[in-house]
């Protein structure tokens, strides 16, 4: 057990460091949600004056989207990194050591989760520095971080599942536009109550990303909205459970070595 934990720590450390050492991959995923947040706030702040809009600041309203977008993009990156390890033969070499296969994947996932957590902490600091006061207080910030861990685990596991299935970093990277589709057809820009077009409201209601955003958003602009939190944690937990199960099943039938 102790040996497994040591192996896990080293694999997670390598996973996180490898991502940090590839600025071309890491910084866009770190900065892009912030850039989009700033741009959409500039363009959509008029929404604050729309009757029924739930916040006095569009920046505070849109902040939640950055956390979910960061976790989504981080998940794709985790999958790309794992597929790259398979393509370059790193996992081949690792399979010659006594390290169990599940630990190899867990190490990759743990590295991705640590990065997502750091990213979310940075977003919180930037939000507070920009004048956003979390309606749920410091406890709410802790819950945002907890939800980020769960979201990151879910999306990174989906990335790992795709990497194991396809063994191609390009194929995993090809799912990147899907993250945009998931965000655009959710309550990312507007609350569902203000979606005038019925079909769009229906799509957003079926889109799990809406509930993740609304859980974080509730903590930022409303306070302790237990309904939104329960739905957010249920969706994040459900997605994480499904993704981990799919990854575990794939791992049982496929070798991590190329």
Partner 1 sequence: MTAPVQSHPPLRHAALAAAGIARRNLRTALTTPSLLLPPLIAPLVFFAAFCGGLSVLADAPGFQFTPGYVAFEFVFVVVQGAVFTGIFSGLTLARDFESGMARRALVAVADRRAIVGGYVLTALGRAPVTAAALYLAGLAAGMPAGGVIDMLVLFAVTELLAAIGALWASGIALRIRSVQGAPMMQMPAFLGLYLAPAFVPLGLLTGWLHGAAAVNPFSLYLESGRGLVAGHPVRTAETLAVSAVLIALLTLWALRGLRRATAQAS
In whole angstroms, the minimum distance from the beta carbon of 162 to partner 1 comes to 17
Range 33-52, binding partner 1 (CB under 8 A): 35, 39-40, 42-47, 49-51
| Shortest Cβ 62–partner 1 spacing (Å) | 12
Which conformational region is residue 99 in: left (phi greater than 0), alpha (psi within -120 to 50 degrees), or beta? beta
Name the segment binding partner 1 (CB under 8 A); options: 76-84, 150-158, 160-168, 194-202: 194-202
- Which token pair is 133? 């006061």
2 binds partner 1 (CB under 8 A): no
Q: Which of 1, 2, 21, 24 binds partner 1 (CB under 8 A)?
A: 24
- Of 188, 209, 212, 236, the residue at the interface with partner 1 (CB under 8 A) is 188
Rounded alpha-carbon distances, angstroms, from residue 34 to 15, 38, 110, 158, 206: 24, 6, 24, 24, 26
Q: Which of 2, 56, 129, 199 binds partner 1 (CB under 8 A)?
A: 199
Please compute Rg for the chain using Cα positions.
19
171 binds partner 1 (CB under 8 A): no
Quote the CA–CA distance of 42 and 186 in Å, as a whole number: 20
117 versus 126: smaller Cβ distance to partner 1: 126
> Helical H runs in the chain?
2-20, 23-44, 58-88, 90-94, 101-129, 137-166, 169-173, 176-184, 198-206, 208-217, 226-253
Residues near partner 1 (CB under 8 A) = 24, 28, 35, 39-40, 42-47, 49-51, 177, 180-181, 184-185, 188-190, 194-197, 199-200, 203-204
């Amino acid at each position: 057990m102790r040996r497994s934990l040591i192996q896990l720590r080293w694999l997670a450390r390598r996973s996180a460091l490898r991502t940090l050492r590839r600025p071309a991959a890491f910084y866009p995923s770190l900065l892009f949600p912030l850039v989009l947040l700033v741009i959409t706030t500039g363009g959509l702040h008029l929404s604050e004056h729309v009757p029924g809009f739930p916040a006095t600041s569009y920046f505070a309203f849109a902040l939640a989207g950055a956390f979910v977008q960061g976790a989504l993009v981080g998940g794709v990156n985790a999958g790309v990194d794992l597929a790259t390890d398979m393509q370059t033969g790193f996992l081949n070499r690792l399979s010659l050591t006594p390290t169990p296969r599940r630990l190899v994947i867990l190490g990759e996932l743990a590295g991705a989760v640590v990065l997502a957590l750091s990213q979310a902490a940075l977003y919180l600091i930037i939000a507070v520095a920009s004048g956003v006061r979390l309606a749920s207080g410091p406890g709410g910030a802790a819950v945002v971080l907890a939800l980020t861990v769960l979201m990151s685990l879910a999306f990174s596991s989906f990335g790992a599942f795709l990497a194991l299935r396809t063994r191609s970093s390009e194929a995993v990277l090809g799912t990147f536009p899907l993250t945009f589709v998931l965000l655009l057809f959710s309550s990312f820009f507007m609350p569902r109550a203000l979606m005038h077009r019925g079909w769009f409201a229906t799509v957003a209601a079926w889109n799990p990303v809406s509930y993740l955003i609304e859980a974080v958003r509730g903590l930022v602009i409303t306070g302790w909205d237990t309904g939104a939190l329960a739905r957010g944690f249920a969706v994040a937990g459900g997605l994480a459970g499904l993704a981990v199960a799919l990854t575990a099943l794939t791992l049982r039938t496929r070798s991590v070595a190329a």
